[in-house]
Amino acid sequence: MKKTKKRAPLKRFKSVKKLIKPRIKKFHKKFHFSHKQKSGKKFQAPIMAPHLKNAILILDFGSQYTQLIARRVRENKVYSTIVSHTITAEEIKKIAPKGLIFSGGPASVYDEKSPKCDKAIFKLGLPILGICYGQQLLAQYFGGKVKRTREREYGRMELFIDDHSDFLNALPGNITCWMSHGDFVSKLPKGFTSIAHTLNTPNAAFASRDKKIIGVQFHPEVAHTSHGSQIISNFLYRVCRCSPSWEMGSFIKNTVAQIRTLVGDDNVVCGLSGGVDSSVTAMLVHRAVGRQLRCVFVDNGLVRNREPEEIKNIFRGNFHMNLDFVNAQNRFLKRLKGVTDPEEKRKIIGDEFIKVFEEEAKKIRRVKYLAQGTLYPDVIESISATGSPTAKIKSHHNVGGLPEHMNLKLIEPLRQLFKDEVRQLAKQLGLPPEIITRQPFPGPGLAIRIIGDVTPERLQILREAEDIFVAEIRKAGLYEEVWQSFAILLTVKSVGVMGDERTYDNVIALRCVSSTDGMTADWVKLEPAFLGKVSNRIINEVQGVNRVVYDISSKPPATIEWE
């Protein structure tokens, strides 16, 4: 039988550099944005350079769970940062962290091309926790043996605790753990002891207390492992002797002071979309430099109902910020006319936004800095750490896809934060609930929720349908419980009967998903009666719609947005 060539994962996501290359050349020389200064040296945003001496470094060996490890550490009030597995012992020594975590990964340690680390790391005397591939790497280095399993373990397994001291302290005798491996440690290194097992894996966890090295075959970072947070906490506090110093109050104080010192008497421009990321960025910079910040809100005609008015009221009215409001609806819709390809839509919207933003920036005097709400997942998903085997998931417009020269230097105060940490900041900064709890909204806006041609008429249909759906989600008390809930306008039309007459009208798809970080998502099992109510309202109240369907796809294999 002829073998079919496997498709590369998520091949449809293009490199941002390829995506925006044509429009880069059109930039005016005065306002080129990138990570390089005129000297050509890489410009490292000075904001958010935390004191790492009470931190944990996570060496990335290619696991898609690496972000989760970092989040779980931070949830225990210890700062963590992800680095490449190629980091040297000397680089780690300069940072002086309290401990290291080796992530999992898809490779087998006995393969020649499998990722390895600098062997000098083991001579630093730092506590190390190896997870899955990381455990097998530790076993191999210290003289143990790793073999392929007869039956691959995947999913929930029962873990039996053999030693409750230190790392597995305060755990019951057996817990549920999450396994995902095809290799296992068949022989322990000298001086190491097994501290937990499953029915199929005798060395599901091992330790060398003299070396402060621990390895686990399961994944304590995932929600499927019961007591996973306690296991990570034990490593942080009982093994590494960390102190609980990572909290948002001190982050605000330190970051505001850094921004104030950096900016001096210069001015800062910030693209304000009304999402929680850009809003928190604007608030931090405003708290630091006040009227030296100028925010720009571009209404491209692809935003949700009442959004421009809400942004004006919140940031001009409540926080007295300098906010320039730009009505650019006509120019965006003109360029999108007749465009149906989703990548082409993204390209056009990004191109036009930069043009509009550039025109507005030119009107502001003494602007030296551009503030933007880049998050840590944006950085990780767009550009894997140098030498990291982690798959590049997708590109983000604000990371790694910028031109080669700049006059405006970047201020990215959220660059090393996760979304849940940003929401914590929003609360402490006094942002209203409608901003804090706002569900994620795609950069290209409603254009990628309209399958096919984007027109004023189709935008109106979609806005009205989504308003009804979200209103009912709020009324049911679900808005803050789910990750996203929205409507999609399809290209297909269907036959219907309304008022004893035949209709041939539009179809609306409803999408509601639950997630913690947007990287994976499950469809929400809404009650049939609820869906029926929403469907009836949309069909009766939105002219041009005669059918409503509900999307029951999870991510992966689907994505959250349709385009």
Q: How far is residue 109's CA from residue 115's CA, in Å, rounded to a whole number?
A: 8
Give yes or no: 132 in active site.
yes
Q: How far is residue 21's CA from residue 450's CA, in Å, rounded to a whole number?
A: 25
Q: Which residues, in sequence order, are CB contacts of 419 under 8 Å at separation 6+?
A: 276, 277, 375, 377, 517, 518
Q: Which residues, in sequence order, are CB contacts of 527 under 8 Å at separation 6+?
A: none
Longest dimension (CA), the chain: 82
Identify which of 209, 96, 218 has the alpha carbon closest to the alpha carbon of residue 154.
Answer: 218
Catalytic residue among 85, 197, 219, 286: 219
Q: Are 279 and 435 contacting, i.e. CB atoms less than 8 angstroms apart?
A: yes
**Tokens found for residue 264:** 């001096």
Any bridge partners for residue 297, and if so which? 325
Catalytic residue among 85, 177, 181, 221: 221
Q: Are 59 and 84 contacting, i.e. CB atoms less than 8 angstroms apart?
A: yes
Catalytic residue among 132, 177, 242, 270: 132
Strands (E), 49-104: 55-60, 79-84, 99-102
Give yes or no: 221 in active site.
yes
Q: What torsion, rounded to 10 degrees, do the Cα atoms 135, 139, 142, 146 define?
A: -150
Q: Are 213 and 138 contacting, i.e. CB atoms less than 8 angstroms apart?
A: yes
Q: What torsion, rounded to 10 degrees, do the Cα atoms 528, 531, 537, 539 define?
A: -100
Give yes or no: 219 in active site.
yes
Identify which of 152, 60, 151, 58 has the alpha carbon closest to the alpha carbon of residue 105.
Answer: 60
Q: How far is residue 304's CA from residue 538's CA, in Å, rounded to a whole number?
A: 17
Q: How far is residue 133's CA from residue 186's CA, in Å, rounded to a whole number?
A: 14
Identify which of 221, 246, 211 has the alpha carbon closest to the alpha carbon of residue 52.
Answer: 246
Phi, psi for residue 73 in degrees, rounded to 5: -65, -45
Helix (H) or strand (E) holding 421: helix 419-428
Q: Which residues, in sequence order, are CB contacts of 502 under 8 Å at separation 6+?
A: 495, 496
Q: Is 521 helix (H, G, I), strand (E, B) or coil?
A: strand
Q: How far is residue 453's CA from residue 447's CA, in Å, rounded to a whole number?
A: 9
Tell me how far apart the terminal alpha carbons of the chain are, to the nearest angstrom. 34
In eight-state DSSP terms, residue 189 is: P
In eight-state DSSP terms, residue 42 is: B
Active-site residue numbers? Answer: 132, 219, 221
